[in-house]
Structure 1
């Protein structure tokens, strides 16, 4: 018997602060249209030192996990390129914060922005073999390029949490996906750096090439064409990137279908425009945005393109389920994004410099202004001090 597997619930967390891109553009002597139109970003999440990928993941996961789920989840797959330790997995810290049972498998996955997709596919295979299983998959990152750099406008951060089960409420995965890997130096972060190195134009070209490669391979393997899709969902380090990807395949569609695909893309990029780059979580925030803002129907097939610099790409698909809106809390997500506080450019620059230093010294962080359920209180004896309110 074939087991239907996919995303049963989706949660998302980003901190309570953001930077308006008009303010950043003016401070950097740029035309705001360069950021709003040329890059496709309106707001950028600002990550305070009291939040890291572990706390953001916990804040996202608690949105979707019931007490019964906490008892049933036996695997945590944590995709991130913002790991906090060169040995111990972020997933282990997360499993402890959530109170998961000791007989839980917890692993961190890294391949730039592709890590969460690797986790999703591994989780799906696991559940296909064990239909009663539940797997928690995380995509959490803090995108840092540095102040006054070319990549500054594509910073951001947050966490997406996905519960993968049989008979999912939201999105049932198709069994076939296509992937492509090549050793490419378009983006990387050496061990001695907290900010990434990137060749932006080259990375965009590689992204588009990998999309074309995996989309073509997918069509050959499945016999499907663009006519079979209600929407294409993209990894969005900045929203203009996905728009370029969509334009590559729009000529394959009829005029009427082109309008539908374009409208779906507009819905899929709304939340990303107001959060910024999540690295591993960007594709899944875009999927969530489409589910929240798009005109979807049960049975609609969505194509998803995941890309991680360095480089690895994957194209996969799935179908929207009848009760998909029950799998996320739309009102709470809207309130979280609406109630954030704008910071000035000067405040943003100060917060950017306040991340935990790499010298290992004890640090006590100013936790009073952080209202999230989980937060980072500081570091003692080389150990991060996590707290729950």
Structure 2
């Protein structure tokens, strides 16, 4: 029985900042952002969008009534959790009107959370072949205004339906993984922005990749020439390329050219949204599938997941017949086309708008937010969510 990705889609807020203009405002050469880290636009979440609404809006794009009835497990990967007790998955489950006979949980391990969700989903489907699992990766990356990490912020979510006999990608069983207790990136519960040792984190990202890649080759007997593409977790789009370059000479020249071309296709969406933490690897996968014209059914795709702190994993999938028929290419193109650029001043104002943490009541103006699901305010220490279709 094949198990894998039956559906996949993403959602990003309707506002963005041009990275050239952000560079000018920060007295930085624009090429440092556009070429140095490879970012062009950065998605900005209004106060009416949080990780729950982003995830729910992403899922809305891909689910139908059959899914709503058959999904009996919702796994929400995030490192931007809104509650220390209640999972974001429960909110999403309700907002989407899913089958009540379901498990709903939240998973946390930095940017690795959605990958952990996929691996749990595979086990659930193996035991329950008629079931479907909704896996979500949703985050708002915040480092603060005028910080070294500001240019690697972003906001968005990816939603995936994992099932038996998937229409898009069948996940192979062999994978390699690694854990080490390191402090390259973290966010204490008292802070709404992250702490990061950027140079150390880059080093560990590459170290983990080369380690799990060697483990994977030993486990699987496969080599780089067996791959059409490798997707990477992308805190910024140049990061994956740095890792790929450490192994690319293992392949013949034709494979090298193919991997590099497909890598560029895999970064298109990320460079226009920014870092979405748990969803970044899967946003890269969506970008590859929808932007690359080289891929064919039967192609093997590698996936490298890295979550600071740190956990890394390398695993693989095989593209299924007619997989392009089940992508959301048109909807995603419309989402990008409908976004609005905001000025640096507007971005800074939005960034500093915060949800009350003292129990006070608040109502948020959602008239400019086109999303179907949004955060309307706070009342009695509870977030007030709205689905416009209900």
8 A contact 1:374–1:387 mirrored in 2: yes
Q: Deviations over 1:42-86 (max 9, x none)?
A: 000000000011111111101111011101111000000001000
- The residue aligned with 1:120 is 118
In the aligned structure 2, how far is the partner of 1:185 from the partner of 1:365?
36
Find out whether 1:35 has 2:33 as its counterpart: yes
3-state DSSP class of the match of 2:347? helix
* Offset at residue 102 of structure 1 (A): 2.1
* Offset at residue 358 of structure 1 (A): 2.4
8 A contact 1:43–1:275 mirrored in 2: yes
In the aligned structure 2, how far is the partner of 1:326 from the partner of 1:125?
27
- The residue aligned with 2:310 is 311
- The number of equivalent residue pairs is 387
8 A contact 1:48–1:355 mirrored in 2: no
In the aligned structure 1, how far is the partner of 2:153 from the partner of 2:36?
15
* Offset at residue 214 of structure 1 (A): 0.4
TM-score by length of 2: 0.98
TM-score by length of 1: 0.99
Runs of 4+ aligned residues of structure 1 deviating over 4 Å after TM superposition are none
3-state DSSP class of the match of 1:387? strand
3-state DSSP class of the match of 1:357? coil
Q: Deviations over 1:227-250 (max 9, x none)?
A: 110011100010010010110111
In the aligned structure 2, how far is the partner of 1:186 from the partner of 1:214?
18
* Offset at residue 327 of structure 1 (A): 2.3
3-state DSSP class of the match of 2:269? helix
In the aligned structure 2, how far is the partner of 1:358 from the partner of 1:211?
39
3-state DSSP class of the match of 2:174? coil
Q: Deviations over 1:248-276 (max 9, x none)?
A: 11110111211110000000001100000
8 A contact 2:356–2:378 mirrored in 1: no
Residue among 250, 253, 263 paired with 1:252: 250
- The residue aligned with 1:58 is 56
- The residue aligned with 2:205 is 207
Q: Deviations over 1:165-212 (max 9, x none)?
A: 011111100011110000010000011100000001100000000000
Residue among 138, 142, 156 paired with 2:140: 142
- The residue aligned with 1:190 is 188
Runs of 5+ unmatched residues, structure 1 = none
* Offset at residue 326 of structure 1 (A): 2.4
Find out whether 1:296 has 2:295 as its counterpart: yes
Cα RMSD between the aligned structures? 0.7
Runs of 5+ unmatched residues, structure 2 = none
